[in-house]
Structure 1
Amino acid sequence: MVTDPIRLVISSGFSSFVPINSWKRGGLALSLWKRKFSERIICESETKTSREELLAVVGGGAAGVYGAIRAKTVAPDLSVVIIEKGKPLSKVKVSGGGRCNVTNGHCADNMILAENYPRGHKEFRGSFFHLHGPVDTMSWFSSHGVELKTEGDGRVFPVSNSSSSIIDCLMSQVKQKGVSMQTRKAVTSVSIANNGKFLLNVQQQLADNDERVEADYLLIATGCSRQGYALASQLGHTIIDPVPSLFTFKIEDSQLTELAGISFTKVKVRLKLDNVQRNIPQLTQVGSMLVTHWGLSGPAVLRLSAWGARYLFSSGYKGKLIIDFTPDLHEENVKSILSHHKHQFAKQKVYNSYPFDFGISKRFWCYVLNRQGFGGDILWASMSNNSLISIASILKHCTFEVAGKGQFKEEFVTAGGVSLSEISLNTMESKICPRLFFAGEVLNVDGITGGFNFQNAWSGGYIAGTTIGRLAHPILDHPA
């Protein structure tokens, strides 16, 4: 066995190698111990073999934890440490209303799956999901004791309806594989040491001194935290300025907000912005929608906000939202239904009687009538042909002024991050800095609501962990 000398990595900023005999003979240990300022000394074992290496994972979220577990699975002798400034898996805990939307089970075709990523849809058409897709994710959790279910819209949740099932599973694997989890610590800077390894400056909360960690591999999986962007920049990467994605729309319409709680099963929403003149298909979305006390929300609106994230940011979150409340009916059909209803219920008040074909509630029907200026006592018999055309028009082209954005608290998703052009997606390794890897939302990737953002984390973490494990132990490869 070939032994290395003890390596001293001292928080004051210098790194040196001291022969073991010198350490025993001299008073170096005593003098260091008596230094005026407390310094942390990290000593590698005298019997450490030349093959032992360290992977440092910055970020204890879904991508970081999944990647660490995978790396340790492929290379059991690889030392792996996760450095997390807060609580590990905190986003997993709150996602999906505390249920954790693990992935989406309705996208078996990877080309279709890729189309759910406003940033990443072109790049993800390649090998990314072929290497580890939703089916692989579901299989992994199932094989590790988490029973899953797929709901009607494709969202996958643990049968327990609790994110704790996912967290407990991951943390159990962290412990079982021997991954070290260091919390309440932030990596404040990173550089390349003379020996080609990564030198991380780690700051512990409520501590006066920093510590240095020297790593052979570095996986940055910090989500939308600026910590990750800063580290990536220090290592030569380009950062695309992050802006919010997946948010609700604030609508200044007091009569509409009085309808808070009303939902629509299917509407077509189109976003019109002054700074976007060309036709962008993704700025029209179809799906369910919800009226809130500040405006509009629901899957259709959230998808629209994701695809329009950068356009909305540059427009100051001002624009027009045009909604078709009867997307399965042509405007002439809507007018025909209204005309038929008029003749059938001529003596009834318009407020009290309306066609059920539209699938809207009475409260919203009254809102439509109020917007068009129709009084509460008017009878259907008194409705002119122009009045019917007016109602049909607003049901098909109802326009709202977007006055700002709300916060979709379950997601915390951003558009922006490390440029995908600088990453090899089949390995998740940097094209700029060898042995540097990225996974998750730190990259310029974001998905629409429905489990797609977590799938990006699982896929990226798995690929990065696999690559690192194979580099650490090229002969060994544990596929499980």
Structure 2
Amino acid sequence: MSFTLARFTLARSAVRHSRVRSEAAAPAKNNGLLISTPKQKKFTSTAIPTAQNKASEELLVVVGGGAAGVYGAIRAKTLAPNLNVVIIEKGRPLSKVKISGGGRCNVTNGHCVDTMVLAENYPRGHRELKGAFFNTHGPADTMSWFADQGVELKTEDDGRVFPVSNSSSTIIDCLMSELTRLGVSLQTGKAVVTASSTDGGKFLLGVENRTFSCPEYVEADYLLIASGNSKQGYSLASQLGHSIVDPVPSLFTFKIEDPQLRDLSGITFPKVKATLKIENARRNIPQLTQACWNLILDFAPDVHIEDLKSIVTQHKNKFAKHKLSNSYPSEFGLVKRFWIYLLGRQDLHGDTLWASISKNSLISLAHMLKNCNFYVTGKSQYKDEFVTAGGVPLSEVSPSLSPSPFLPFFFTFIGSVILCLAFVKISLNTMESKIQSRLFFAGEVLNVDGITGGFNFQNAWSGGYIAGTSIDGPDEEAVGDVGRPN
């Protein structure tokens, strides 16, 4: 099969995961939340929330300490300071933020200003996201929020946005600091394994600790499931009445036995045609785990092979006295590291002058640019998938309502009606479940996936922001904002 990628990235086959330490904002206190174990049948206090409970306080439990969960928790706590907000994460918080973009963290994409164009970068979800989703909180809002927190960002030529520090730790430190400042409790090493609704409209959650399997039970007023592609989130959604689109890998890493590729981590290409030839594949093996793969990359898909030969030959004539490693055709949009890699595959030394290159070597280089072969020994395990398609269908939540083509007509002749319709559009933009009230979803747990380039993180920021905004905390004046001034 053959397909064209908007961007192709060479990444390390193995990435070290740095340990992220999280601490509660304040020592845990007895706040009288209802907790029980199946054997005791007695309610006891829990250390999950860190703030002193008051009669007016309510509890929001966020399942998942990734980008969507953390951002949603920050937004909810910012608008409702008296709302108890607890994030429960079974692993390391913000682990995908840590490894994204080769460890630099591709925060968002800065080239898609038009939200209609932006939505087209989501193979699953583009129709639903064309409504108010990104209008509520888009890439510009995300960049503004991080800038307000003192994080300097830069937009590279291909639109990808990174912190100026080129370190994902900058983004992680920013988010963790906000959690601490606001008093959001982050509980790691725990997992929400069961969820049911009570007669009083709350959620009874079974929480397991890593050290013992007997769950404790917590009553929450609001529940935000932002567990990424974890089976945990799908299970909780099912328990609360939602259907699940079977999850499949959408963005993952190939395993290629070529040690030299490690030095090319983070390199991107503006346009590449990839052809995957599969050998020894059986029709009844859908996951291709027993197949041999041959990945063929064309780094100049819009240029004919004969034109490539001509470009390389003209470059030789023009830069005959230059070294191969220091001079190469700019038309290909390649970086020096990758050009040197190609030379090595052709057994050409970088210190060799262009004048010394034979005609056959020039032809061979041109063919390498059009047909660069990589033998794939497998793919990453499911638990290591960067992005997964599938999950809770968007039809079962309220992400947005696309504008009707009849709105201009109503605006002209029935002004009061258009005001009513506009209100409906905004009120549906909540990320709340259509099946269970006070249940919200954000991020990859939904059947949404984006192409590489910062789009998946933007889905997380936008969904978390909208969910956090929609969660009604205790009655009070909203203070502050996580995105931009109201």
CA contact (8 A) 1:272 1:319 kept: yes
CA contact (8 A) 1:70 1:465 kept: yes
Q: Give, in angstroms, the shift of residue 324 of structure 1.
A: 3.0
1:245 to 250, 255, 260: 250
Number of residue-to-residue matches in the alignment: 393
The secondary structure found in structure 2 opposite 1:101 is coil
Q: Residues 136 and 394 from structure 1, CA distance in 2 versus in 1: closer, same or farther, beyond 3 angstroms?
A: closer
Q: Residues 153 and 195 from structure 1, CA distance in 2 versus in 1: closer, same or farther, beyond 3 angstroms?
A: same
Q: Give, in angstroms, the shift of residue 57 of structure 1.
A: 0.9
The corresponding residue for 1:459 is 462
C-alpha separation in 2, matches of 1:146 and 1:390? 46
Q: Give, in angstroms, the shift of residue 182 of structure 1.
A: 2.1
2:448 to 445, 448, 458: 445
CA contact (8 A) 1:269 1:321 kept: no
Question: For the aligned residues, what is the CA RMSD?
Answer: 4.3
Task: Check if 1:97 corresponds to 2:71.
Answer: no
Q: Which amino acid aligns with 1:146?
A: V
2:298 to 324, 338, 342: 324
Q: Give, in angstroms, the shift of residue 13 of structure 1.
A: 7.2
Relative to the length of structure 1, the TM-score reads 0.68
C-alpha separation in 2, matches of 1:171 and 1:10? 30
C-alpha separation in 2, matches of 1:406 and 1:207? 30
Task: Check if 1:179 corresponds to 2:205.
Answer: no
The corresponding residue for 2:23 is none
CA contact (8 A) 2:203 2:221 kept: yes
The secondary structure found in structure 2 opposite 1:446 is coil
Q: Which amino acid aligns with 1:191?
A: S
Q: Which runs of 5+ in 2 are unaligned?
A: 1-31, 280-284, 319-323, 349-356, 400-428, 482-486
Q: Which amino acid aligns with 2:100?
A: S
Q: Residues 475 and 330 from structure 1, CA distance in 2 versus in 1: closer, same or farther, beyond 3 angstroms?
A: same
The secondary structure found in structure 2 opposite 1:118 is coil
1:221 to 212, 223, 226: 226
Q: Which amino acid aligns with 1:333?
A: D
Q: Deviations over 1:73-112 (max 9, x none)?
A: 2222222211122232232233333332221212212222
The structure whose RCO (Cα within 8 Å, separation 6+) is larger is 2
Q: Residues 467 and 393 from structure 1, CA distance in 2 versus in 1: closer, same or farther, beyond 3 angstroms?
A: same
Percent of aligned pairs with the same amino acid: 59
Q: Residues 14 and 55 from structure 1, CA distance in 2 versus in 1: closer, same or farther, beyond 3 angstroms?
A: farther
C-alpha separation in 2, matches of 1:388 and 1:207? 65
The corresponding residue for 2:38 is 12
Q: Residues 313 and 137 from structure 1, CA distance in 2 versus in 1: closer, same or farther, beyond 3 angstroms?
A: farther
Larger mean CA deviation between 410-419 and 164-173 belongs to 410-419
The corresponding residue for 1:206 is 211
C-alpha separation in 2, matches of 1:367 and 1:458? 41
CA contact (8 A) 1:202 1:210 kept: yes
Q: Which amino acid aligns with 2:172?
A: I
Q: Bigger radius of gyration, 1 or 2? A: 1
Task: Check if 1:434 corresponds to 2:437.
Answer: yes
Q: Deviations over 1:90-139 (max 9, x none)?
A: 32233333332221212212222222223222322221111101110111
Q: Deviations over 1:223-253 (max 9, x none)?
A: 111111110111111222222232344568x
- Spell out the pairing of 1:48-59 with structure 2 (5 A cutoff): 48-49=54-55, 51-59=56-64
The corresponding residue for 2:11 is none
CA contact (8 A) 1:40 1:211 kept: no
The secondary structure found in structure 2 opposite 1:176 is helix
C-alpha separation in 1, matches of 2:391 and 2:474? 30
C-alpha separation in 1, matches of 2:145 and 2:311? 52
The secondary structure found in structure 1 opposite 2:77 is helix
Q: Give, in angstroms, the shift of residue 197 of structure 1.
A: 1.0
CA contact (8 A) 1:251 1:400 kept: yes
Q: Give, in angstroms, the shift of residue 416 of structure 1.
A: 2.0
C-alpha separation in 2, matches of 1:167 and 1:264? 23
Q: Deviations over 1:269-326 (max 9, x none)?
A: 1335789xxxxxxxxxxxxxxxxxxxxxxxxxxxxxxxxxxxx965556666453343
C-alpha separation in 1, matches of 2:467 and 2:452? 24
The corresponding residue for 1:109 is 114
C-alpha separation in 2, matches of 1:464 and 1:258? 44
CA contact (8 A) 2:346 2:364 kept: no
Q: Residues 195 and 322 from structure 1, CA distance in 2 versus in 1: closer, same or farther, beyond 3 angstroms?
A: same
CA contact (8 A) 1:274 1:319 kept: yes
- Spell out the pairing of 1:263-282 with structure 2 (5 A cutoff): 268-271=272-275
CA contact (8 A) 2:80 2:476 kept: no
Q: Residues 392 and 432 from structure 1, CA distance in 2 versus in 1: closer, same or farther, beyond 3 angstroms?
A: same
C-alpha separation in 1, matches of 2:390 and 2:184? 30
Relative to the length of structure 2, the TM-score reads 0.67
Q: Which runs of 5+ in 1 are unaligned?
A: 1-5, 16-31, 33-38, 276-311, 346-350, 371-378
1:231 to 211, 219, 236: 236
- Spell out the pairing of 1:393-404 with structure 2 (5 A cutoff): 396=370, 404=378
Q: Which amino acid aligns with 1:132?
A: H
Larger mean CA deviation between 188-197 and 312-321 belongs to 312-321
C-alpha separation in 1, matches of 2:209 and 2:165? 35
C-alpha separation in 2, matches of 1:160 and 1:338? 37
Task: Check if 1:422 corresponds to 2:396.
Answer: yes
Larger mean CA deviation between 134-143 and 447-456 belongs to 447-456
